[in-house]
Amino acid sequence: MTDVVQSFSEFFANLGLPTVLIFVLVMLVSLWMLSSMNSRVNWPPGPVCFPVVGCLPQLMISGRRRQPTDLLPWYDTYGDIMHIQLGEQHMIMLGSYELIEEAFVRNAATVSDRPTWIYPIRRLVGKDGAGVILKNGHAWKELRRFTLSSLRDFGLGRKSLQEKIQDEARYLVQNIEDENGKAFSPRDRVAKAVSNIISFVVFGVRYDYEDTPEMLSVLEESVRMNKGGPLAFTNLARLLFPKKKFVLVDKFYSLIRQEVERHRQSFDPTDIRDFIDLYIKVTQERLDPEIYTEWNVFRIIVDLYSAGTDTTANTLRWSLVHIVNHPDVQKRVQKEIDQVIGQGRVAKMEDKARMPFTEATILEVFRMSTVVPMGGPHATSEATTLAGYTIPKGTIILGDLYRVLHDKKNFEDPYNFKPERWLDGDGKVIKSDKMIPFSIGPRICLGKGLAEMESFIFLTSLLQNFTFKVPKGENQPSGVEGVNTITFTPHDYNVCAVRR
């Protein structure tokens, strides 16, 4: 082997630098031609694609700050539908509500797959996908139906789950009260409160605020490591994606399996206490062994806990950012709380109809701080037509939810936090089709109802009991920039919670 390497080295040394450069260029072009399986496709406009790497260089330069706003200038140049090639992978980006609705609703039959062939997803769930978020075809539809039905059985949209959220809101208020008005970071407390709600549904338990469950710590560290950026969609991810990410995922799986084993010891098929009990029951009964496999149902547990913790926690974190940055908004919400709820009880969802400004404030948080800016990646299961272009099978489709929610054609003065935009002249809440922070179509976030319930009860309970302020001597937290990985998180900040 050493002799072969030495022979090649001598061969290239004798050729000279110009010849070597030409050889490398020809090789790269040849590889690009081999990888461009859809070279004759009439793609939508987009940045220039180079051999082998596609438009990765421009994308990495444009996205160097890793903010949801990084690529917005591209839409001005190429239009609301763009073609981007990342290495060997073709991708379509949709930057308007009309195009997202065309793709995810009207063409849902062919644009609802997940790209399970890309390395990070394949490494997480296998090439066939699994669970309710990363599964495709008939199995996905059946697992989604099963999951929604199960969530309703466990109280979603019912008084029982609302009472759990109200209880957790009381615990959160008590914990913050212990700070006695001193500066503190709300990051971990908010995460624990939200995590306890989904933990109750999935595991049948809640955790004290003094104890950080290992599962939550592992999940948050794993999410923070999703920094592969555009490279994650290419085969280069195999080499560049942080290996520790998958070590953490395996640890997360192991912790959930420990919960499953704990449940097995007290399992009673006539008394299903939570989703893990349901998992044991379903896998024992083998209703449909090709769909309700242990791996598919296990991944639903992972999906519920992961999505049910990170996104809603970030919504509440952003809520406090905007509240401390806009004391006038905080006072108006508190005035409405005092008038409708008072100080004697915790908010309930029935109060929401009589609290239009509070609802408008939460809507503005959802709009202004889109916690999943690009939504989940879609993929074409067969050739389909979008905006007059024929998009081949196996193309990734991304709906830029952030751009829709910050497009001045949809929302005037979109980078200013203005809850009043959601109120008409009579003070009633305005609805908008363009308000799609949970995406639209069959792949719409299945936890939308739970997230809305938690956001209303938690935020109302906090402002019922405290006035939040920026600590003296500290800068206001940014209401626009944050940490943008899979989800969009505010930079760490402190607040003071003064008892009302």
User: For residue range 212-223, what is the model confidence (pLDDT) as tens digits?
Assistant: 788 888 888 887
Q: Lowest mean pLDDT: which of 257-271, 313-327, 349-363?
A: 257-271
Q: What is the mean pLDDT of residues 405-420?
A: 97
pLDDT for 188 equals: 92
Q: Lowest mean pLDDT: which of 40-44, 252-256, 406-410?
A: 40-44
d(CA 450, CA 81) in angstroms, rounded, equals: 32
Instruction: Name the phi and psi angles at 376, rounded to 5.
Output: -90, 145
pLDDT reading at 13 higher than 70: no
Residue type for position 226: N
pLDDT bin (cut points 50, 70, 90) of residue 4 is: very low
pLDDT reading at 404 higher than 50: yes
pLDDT reading at 456 higher than 90: yes
Residue with token string 């993929």: 379
Residue 445 annotated as binding site: yes
State how far Cα 98 lies from the chain centre.
22
pLDDT bin (cut points 50, 70, 90) of residue 11 is: very low
Structure confidence by residue, pLDDT tens digits, 328-369: 999 999 999 999 999 989 999 999 999 999 999 999 999 999
Report, in angstroms and rounded to the nearest whole number, the Rg of the chain calculated over CA atoms.
25
Q: Which distant-in-sequence residues (6+ apart) come within 8 Å of 423 by Cβ?
A: 356, 357, 360, 429, 430
Q: Lowest mean pLDDT: which of 51-60, 160-169, 173-182, 411-420?
A: 51-60
Tell me whether strands 466-469 and 482-484 are parallel, antiparallel or unpaired. Answer: unpaired
Reduced to 3 states (helix: H, G, I; strand: E, B; else coil), residue 3 is helix
Token pair of 332 as six digits:
């108006």
Q: What is the rounded end-to-end Cα distance, in angstroms, of the chain? A: 77
Q: Could you give the angle at the alpha carbon of 235 between the alpha carbons of 397 and 229, nearest 5°?
A: 60
We find that the CATH architecture of domain 36-499 is Orthogonal Bundle (1.10)
H-state helical runs in 17-135: 17-35, 56-62, 72-78, 97-101, 119-125
d(CA 399, CA 378) in angstroms, rounded, equals: 8
CA dihedral 141, 147, 152, 154 (to 10 degrees): 170
Q: Which distant-in-sequence residues (6+ apart) come within 8 Å of 344 by Cβ?
A: none
Residue with token string 């990363």: 134
